Structure 1
Amino acid sequence: MTDNSQRLAVARAAYDAVPLYDPKRAPVDLDLTDNTNLWGIPPEAERAWRELPVARITRYPTLYAAELKQALAAYVGVTADMIVTGCGSDDILDSAMRAFGEADDLVAGPEPSFAMIPIFARMNALRYTGCVELPSHQPDIEALLATKPKLLYLCSPNNPTGALVARDTIERVLREAPGVVFLDEAYAEFAGVSSVDLVQQSDRLLVIRTMSKAFGLAGLRIGYAIGQPSLVMEVEKSRGPYKLNAMAEQTALAALQHDMPWVNEHIALAVELRERLADALRSRGFAPLASHANFVCVPVPDCVNVGLALRERGVAVRPFPGLPHIGDTLRISVGPWPLLERFLAAFDDVMATGRSA
C-alpha cells in the first residue's frame, strides 16, 4: 500500500484544496437536517421498488434513462430531448461544470447558498468566487455579473435561507451573463413557482431539479436538469452512460406515473406545516426568515452550541453560524407535526435550561 505522501504526490493539484465532504453528524432519534421528505416514500413508488424483477438488477440499466426522461419531460412541460438525468442533482452540477468549464474558468454564485458549488468548481479545476447576498436575501446581481463568470449559479428557493430569487433577476442574468447559467430548483415544488419556461428562450440556461425532496426518493439519488437539447447533450456527454441505476429509474417512473396525488398532497402539507412551525417560533420571540422551501431558517444566537444541545436531546437540526446580514441560524426541516412538536419541546428545554442536557 502506498503511504500518504505518495498518494498526495500523484493527486491532481486542483484537489489540494478540496475537502472530503464529512458533516460529522452522528445518527440521532429525530433528524431534521437534510430537508428530505419525512412522510416517507410514495405508495406506488414503494411497490415498484419492492417488486422490481431480479432480471432488472442482474443487467445494466438503460444507457440514458430514456423512459424516465419522457416522464420527467411530461411532468415539467418540455420535450424529452430537453432532459438529462443523473445520480442526484449533485451529479448534474458536477457534470455540467465539467461540460462547460475549461481549466481556470470562473464560477460565481451568491453566498450563502449550496455549499457544494465551490467544491465542485475546485474538483473540476475551476476557480470560484462568492458574492454576498443583499440584505433582502436576493443575490447581488451587480456583483455577480461584474465577475464576468463562465458559469453563474443561482438557487431558488435558496438553501439555507429559503428565499425565492425574483423572476426579473433571473431574466436579467440570462440577458447579461456571459456564459452558462445554472438555476438550482431543488425546492421548487414547495415554492409553487418555477423558471423552467425560460429554457425555451435561452440556450444558456440549465435548470437543475431533484426527486430527493418532494418525491421522497433521496436515497435513490435521482436528479435531472432541463435545458435546450444542445445544452443538455453536452451534460449527457460529460456524465456518461449507466449513471442512473435500474431500481432508481423504475421507482421514479412509478412515482411520476401513479403517485402525483400523494406527492402534491404532501407538498401542500409541508407548506402548511412550514408556516405553522414559523408561527410557533415567532410566538417564542424568534424571527424566522420567510421560506419558500420545505424548511425554516431561524436566527438563533450561539447556534452551534444550541445545535449540540439539541443533539444531546436526540434532535438534530442544521446550524449555520455567521450568515451575512443574519448572524447565527438554525435550519429546521419540515415534517409531520408530531416530529416538529418534539423539536419545539427540545428547543424550549435548551433555551430555558442552557446549552447542555
Structure 2
Amino acid sequence: MSDRLAFARALYDAVPLYDPKRTPVDLDLTDNTNLWGLPPTAERTLREMAVAKVTRYPSLYAAELKEALAAFVGATADRLVTGCGSDDILDSAMRAFGEPGSVVAGSEPSFAMIPIFAQMNGLQYVGITERADHQPDLDALLAAKPRILYLCSPNNPTGALLTRETLERAVREAPGVVFVDEAYAEFSGVSAVDLAMRVDNLLVIRTMSKAFGLAGLRIGYGIGAPSLVRDVEKSRGPYKLSSVAEQMGLAALRHDMDWVHAHVALAVENRNRLAAALRTRGYTPLESHANYVCVPVANALEVGQALRARGVAARPFAALPHVGDTLRISVGPWEMVERFLEAFDAATMDVNGGTAA
C-alpha cells in the first residue's frame, strides 16, 4: 500500500530530502564555513541582544541590512534582496522567473540543490557537463534555451573561477535570466556585481555563511536590477531574516570587516599551503579560488570513510567529469589542516597503499 497522500503534488514524488549522510566527527572539514569562529562585534551583539529583538517580529525586508550589504558590495539598497541563506534566494528566484515546465540549465558539477530547486518549482532541469578546463560548456547551455541559466563562481566543488568572457557572453546571449552563485567570492576577490549594475537579466547570489562565519544565521542576498530583485522579494515574502540574524549581520558589516578580511587572507594562505602539502605527497589538486581544495584521490569514497574512522571529515566526490574521484577539504586554522594531513596519510595508506594514483 502506498503511503502517498491523495492530495500530494505528483512532482514532489521525485524530490528527495537533502541528506548528505554525515555522522558527527571531531574535525569536520566538509562545509566550507569559517573555522576561525565568530566576528567579535557580531558575537558581542548576540550576547547583548535585547529581549524585544527576539519577542517581536523582525523587519519586513531587512531594510537596514540591505543598506549595509549594498555599501559592502558597491551597489544601492534597491538592488538588494535578502533571504534565509543563498539557497532561499535561489529557490525564490526560480519561483519568480520560471514558468511551469520551463528550462533551468546548469553546468555540472556544481551546487547539488539546483536540480532539486528546479523540481520543487515544476521546472525542467538540464545539466551540462563542464569542459575539461573547468569552464561551463556555454554553447550547450545556451542551446538548451534556458529561462534560467545557473553558473557558480568560484565553482563548488572544483574551486574554478568563471572567466569574464564567459560571464559576459552568458548575460549577452541567454534568452532568460542568468544566476551567478558567488558564495565564495570573498576568497577570489572577483565578482560579477559590477556587471549586475549594468544589465537587467543578471542576479548575483551571495551569502554571509562563508567568509563572515555566520552560517548558522542563514543570511543570503541577491544583487541585480531593481525590477529583478523586486520580483524575487515578492516570491520570498516578508520576515525571512530573524532579528538576531539582521543585527549580527549589521554588526559584522559595520565593525568587523578588518576581522573578515584578515581571516579571508588566512584562508587563502592555508589553502595554498594545503595544496602545496598535497603536491609534495604526489597529488595534483585543482586550482582553487575558494576556501577549500579539491584534489583527485583514488577511491575517494573509501578514503573518506577511513578519514571519518579517525575523527576527521572531508567531502568525497565520485567520478567528477574530467577528474575522477576527489576529496574536497575546507581550510581553517593550520593546526586543523595539519591534523587532516596526518589522518589523510594514514587513510590513503589503508585504502590505496599510500599511492596517489
Q: CA RMSD in A?
A: 1.1
Alignment match, 1:5: 3
Rounded to whole Å, the distance in 1 between the matches of 2:350 and 2:299 is 14
Alignment match, 1:172: 169
Check whether the contact 1:305–1:355 (CA below 8 A) recurs between aligned residues: no
Alignment match, 1:233: 230
Matches within 5 A, 1:318-357: 318-354=315-351
Does residue 281 of structure 1 match 2:287? no
Measured against aligned partners, the alpha-carbon deviations of 1:242-295 in whole angstroms (never above 9, x if no partner) come to 000000000000000000000000000000000000000000000000000000
Counterpart amino acid of residue 5 in structure 1 = D
Rounded to whole Å, the distance in 2 between the matches of 1:11 and 1:180 is 30
Counterpart amino acid of residue 200 in structure 2 = D
Rounded to whole Å, the distance in 2 between the matches of 1:257 and 1:129 is 41
CA-CA distance at 1:68 after TM superposition: 0.1
Partner of 2:286, secondary structure, is coil
Alignment match, 2:55: 58
Rounded to whole Å, the distance in 2 between the matches of 1:225 and 1:343 is 34
Partner of 2:332, secondary structure, is coil
Alignment match, 1:149: 146
Rounded to whole Å, the distance in 1 between the matches of 2:94 and 2:194 is 22
CA-CA distance at 1:354 after TM superposition: 3.2
Matches within 5 A, 1:81-230: 81-230=78-227
CA-CA distance at 1:4 after TM superposition: 6.0
Alignment match, 2:17: 20
Partner of 1:317, secondary structure, is strand
Matched residues, number: 353
Rounded to whole Å, the distance in 2 between the matches of 1:179 and 1:6 is 35
Counterpart amino acid of residue 260 in structure 1 = M
Counterpart amino acid of residue 186 in structure 2 = E
Rounded to whole Å, the distance in 1 between the matches of 2:325 and 2:285 is 12
1:75 is aligned, of 72, 75, 78, to 72
Matches within 5 A, 1:292-331: 292-331=289-328
Alignment match, 2:30: 33
Check whether the contact 1:271–1:294 (CA below 8 A) recurs between aligned residues: yes
CA-CA distance at 1:350 after TM superposition: 1.3
1:250 is aligned, of 247, 252, 261, to 247
Counterpart amino acid of residue 35 in structure 2 = L
Check whether the contact 1:158–1:164 (CA below 8 A) recurs between aligned residues: yes
CA-CA distance at 1:348 after TM superposition: 0.6
Rounded to whole Å, the distance in 2 between the matches of 1:46 and 1:116 is 30
CA-CA distance at 1:148 after TM superposition: 0.6
Rounded to whole Å, the distance in 2 between the matches of 1:331 and 1:140 is 23
Percent same amino acid among aligned pairs?
Answer: 72
Counterpart amino acid of residue 262 in structure 1 = W
TM-score, normalisation: structure 1: 0.98
Check whether the contact 1:309–1:355 (CA below 8 A) recurs between aligned residues: no
CA-CA distance at 1:5 after TM superposition: 2.2
CA-CA distance at 1:50 after TM superposition: 1.2
Counterpart amino acid of residue 115 in structure 1 = A
CA-CA distance at 1:226 after TM superposition: 0.2
Check whether the contact 2:293–2:330 (CA below 8 A) recurs between aligned residues: yes
Check whether the contact 1:212–1:221 (CA below 8 A) recurs between aligned residues: yes
CA-CA distance at 1:95 after TM superposition: 0.2
Check whether the contact 2:302–2:351 (CA below 8 A) recurs between aligned residues: no
Check whether the contact 2:271–2:292 (CA below 8 A) recurs between aligned residues: yes
Unmatched segments (≥5 aa) in structure 1: none
Rounded to whole Å, the distance in 2 between the matches of 1:4 and 1:76 is 50
Unmatched segments (≥5 aa) in structure 2: none
Partner of 1:137, secondary structure, is coil
Partner of 1:10, secondary structure, is coil
